[in-house]
Structure 1
Amino acid sequence: MFDRFMKFLKDLPGAGGDRAQDDSDDPRLAAAALMVHVMEADGVEEDAERAKLREALTRAYGLAGRELDEFVARAEEQVHQSVDLYAFTSVLKRHLDEQARIEFIGIMWEIVFADGEMSELEDNIVWRVAELIGVDRRDRVAMRQKADPNRTDEPEL
């Protein structure tokens, strides 16, 4: 799954390391902000969640040290200044095709389950993001099942 996460991040427009002129239309920053948002949703920021996010950003964009800290801080700042999810989801909806949006929901689930559990708040955030970017319930649930380390073989679709 982590390889899929890395491919997704590398395939985002502007992933070659160039910074978008305007943060408000940078799909890499929008994706990172949504991942930060879901990571913070339950009020408990687990080291495993933050480590997964930082490792992915390092591998995908070659960010390390101060540069990585600044990118994560930009994403966190965007989250804390936002009043809703639309600012981020509208960017992803404009820049990603349907399959990439489904994959992004899978990535959000991987961040949720990085600590081995899912809170109702995290579930709600992923559901809302999926709705806003046009990912249907069936695909959202399928991606959750793929990411859930405690899943059974019973489909919930």
Structure 2
Amino acid sequence: MLEGLRQFIADVVSPHETPAFDDNGYQLAATALLIHVISLDGEPNAAERRKLHSLIELRFGLDRGSASRLIAQAMLAEGEAVDLYRFTSVIMREVDEAGRQRIVEMMWELVYADDTVTEFEDNVVWRASELLGISTRDRVDLKHRVASRRSAPPA
């Protein structure tokens, strides 16, 4: 565990050829939204952190180090934000509806990562979805899709 923390810190602070993520980029904005979701009920637990990292790597096509740097930068941005609009407005400018639905789906995946859905988490996904132009029906369908994957027996 200590080695993992050392590697994370090294990945974040060491200079790599990967540039910093653009403050106006949708990846940073989406990651900040995701961090907001997992931070609602306190400090993110290990399952939430692992899920966040795997989603960022998979959905954005990043290697482990780049994903770690994006997460670190997004944590700073999320900590400075006063509302969700800062992030959703960037996403609305840069991402089509299908992409915005994938971001909402990622939010639900993080909500379900700890097997507990709080009213605060449900509410923030609802608010973010509204700001992202995702219909109530699509938001609920995405929630049910993620929930059913969580409860489905392994193949």
TM-score if structure 2 supplies the norm length? 0.77
Distance 1:81 1:120, change over 3 A: same
- Give CA-to-partner distance per residue, 1:65-109, whole Å, 9 cap, x none: xx5443222111101100000010001111111121112111110
Distance 1:150 1:68, change over 3 A: closer
**Amino acid corresponding to residue 133 of structure 1 in structure 2:** L
2:140 counterpart of 1:141: yes
- Matched position secondary structure for 2:64: coil
- Superposition deviation, residue 110 in structure 1: 0.4
Between 91-100 and 69-78, the greater mean CA deviation after superposition: 69-78
Number of aligned positions between the proteins: 131
User: What stretches of structure 1 of length at least 5 have no aligned partner?
Assistant: 1-16, 152-157
Alpha-carbon distance in 2 for matches of 1:130, 1:58: 22
- Superposition deviation, residue 19 in structure 1: 4.4
- Superposition deviation, residue 116 in structure 1: 1.1
| Partner residue in 2 for 1:87 | 86
| Partner residue in 2 for 1:127 | 126
Alpha-carbon distance in 1 for matches of 2:105, 2:68: 24
Higher Rg: 2
| Partner residue in 1 for 2:63 | 62
Alpha-carbon distance in 2 for matches of 1:56, 1:107: 7
| Partner residue in 2 for 1:105 | 104
Alpha-carbon distance in 2 for matches of 1:52, 1:19: 22
**Amino acid corresponding to residue 94 of structure 1 in structure 2:** R
- Give CA-to-partner distance per residue, 1:35-93, whole Å, 9 cap, x none: 000010122412111101112334421132xx544322211110110000001000111
TM-score if structure 1 supplies the norm length? 0.76
4+ residue segments displaced more than 4 Å? 17-20
- Matched position secondary structure for 2:86: helix
Identity of aligned residues (%): 38
